Amino acid sequence: MSRAITAAYRLETGLRDLASRIARGFGWTPVAIPYPGYGSGGRVRVLGRVLLAPAGTHPESRLRIPGWQRFLTLEAPRTGVDVEVAGVRQQLTSDDDGLLDAVLEVPDPLTGRPSVPVRMGTGRRSATAPLHLASIDAHRGVVCDIDDTVLVTEIAHPLRAAYRTFVQRSRNRRAVPGMADLLRELTAGREHVPVLYLSNGPWNLIGPLSAFLERNGVPPGALLLTDWGLQPDRWFRDGQAHKRGSLLRLAEDMPGVDWTLVGDTGEHDPALYEEFATAHPDRVAEILLVDAAVGGPVVDRLGTIPVLRAPDGAGLSRARATLHG
């Protein structure tokens, strides 16, 4: 099996490199697309991707590619990118999948504002995205899944999920009722609460996902997605490992923050959140799960950590009100 995976990965990489050479022959050049990142104090995590695009194409237009065509992009691996945050300039290099993920140190703590722009450029073309800043003394934060937690996808029904993911326009996608209100409730009354949207969805979908979240009025925050496709040692990237690693990374990046973990019972969120909470009980304030199988709010506990389940955001909000008096 390992030989088959290696052969398939080499074939895919070879075809991508061939397509890239052909595209470059027609004048396509690398463009850097920054993604929303996060930071606190004097450290920021910058995220982005480098793709090939026709000459004259603005980088942000690559976020608006429609439907299944989003999965036909040509990544530009091992490409230098100029990055600027708060006056600090640095050159980064994209990885083998064209992705950028780096921590930058800034000399003066970034305080008193909810976000700062990060600018990425290749040659004469550049684009910006927000870096969402947590207050230096933030002690509460939110990690929220997307599919079937905020956005109706029906992952349990593969054909419906595929249609919604590959075909349906983001403006026609439905929100899980009450979740935007719940997320606003979780961030109300505190300054610059860190909010991270953690999903196994691919980076190819960050454009429509960002548009959906903004249109539905959820609190702004960084998106932590993953890269689909063949890996050198496996057919598909391990989604559970992506979420598990992201939670541990957030615990390290923001050591003073206790997290409210928001997800759904359709896939692996309950087990992953329980695993993280068991290993780091002092870092989890509560676990909130959208559960279509329950008729109303259900309140459980994992040790001292509340675990609340309800069919929608309004039910979870009622459960929190009951719990917190």
Helical axes 179-187 vs 313-324, angle rounded to 10°: 40
**164 plus 312 within the same structural domain:** yes
- Residue 320 sits in the same domain as residue 201: yes
Looking at the structure, tell me whether residues 105 and 8 fall in a common domain. Answer: yes
pLDDT of residue 167: 76
Measured CA to CA in angstroms, residue 119 lies from 59, 90, 278, 306 at distances of 11, 11, 39, 40
Question: What percent of the chain lies above the pLDDT cut of 70?
Answer: 95
Q: pLDDT for 29-84, tens place per residue?
A: 999 999 999 988 888 999 999 999 988 888 888 777 776 677 778 899 999 999 99
CATH code: domain of residue 147: 3.40.50.1000
DSSP bridge pairs for 258: 140
Exposed, middle or buried: residue 325 (CB in 10 Å: 0-12, 13-18, 19+)? exposed
Looking at the structure, tell me whether residues 194 and 298 fall in a common domain: yes
157 contact partners, CB below 8 Å, separation of at least 6: none
Q: In what order do the strands lie in the sheet with 222-226?
A: 222-226, 195-202, 140-144, 258-264, 284-290, 305-310, 298-302
Q: Which of 107, 132, 157 is the last residue of a domain?
A: 132
Picking from 132, 161, 185, the residue at the C-terminal end of a domain is 132
Q: What does the block give as tokens for 95?
A: 């990885």
Using CA atoms, how far apart are residues 61 and 163, in angstroms rounded to an integer?
23
Residues 190 and 42 in one domain: no
**Between residues 231 and 314, which one has the greater pLDDT?**
314
Query: 154 and 120 in one domain?
Result: no
pLDDT bracket for residue 234 (50, 70, 90)? low
Residue pLDDT, tens place only, 236-279: 666 789 999 999 999 999 988 999 999 999 889 999 999 999 99
Residues 6+ apart with CB under 8 A from 27: 54, 55
CATH code at position 55: 2.60.40
For the chain, the average pLDDT equals: 89
Lowest mean pLDDT among 100-104, 226-230, 283-287: 226-230
Smallest Cα–Cα separation from 258: which of 169, 190, 314?
190
Structure tokens at 169: 């326009």
Do 106 and 156 reside in the same domain of the chain? no
Q: Domain count of the chain? A: 2
Q: Are 147 and 125 members of one domain?
A: no
Cα torsion at 249, 109, 91, 81 (round to 10°)?
A: 70
pLDDT bucket at 235, cuts 50 / 70 / 90: low
| Shared-domain flag, residues 127 and 42 | yes
Domain boundary among 80, 105, 132: 132
Residue 199: how many other CB atoms lie within 10 Å: 24
Does 89 lie in the same domain as 39? yes
117 and 153: one domain?
A: no
Say if residue 290 is in the same domain as residue 176.
yes
Domain that residue 58 falls in: 2-132
Q: What phi and psi, each to the nearest 5 degrees, are found at residue 272?
A: -65, -45
Please tell me the pTM assigned to this model.
0.92
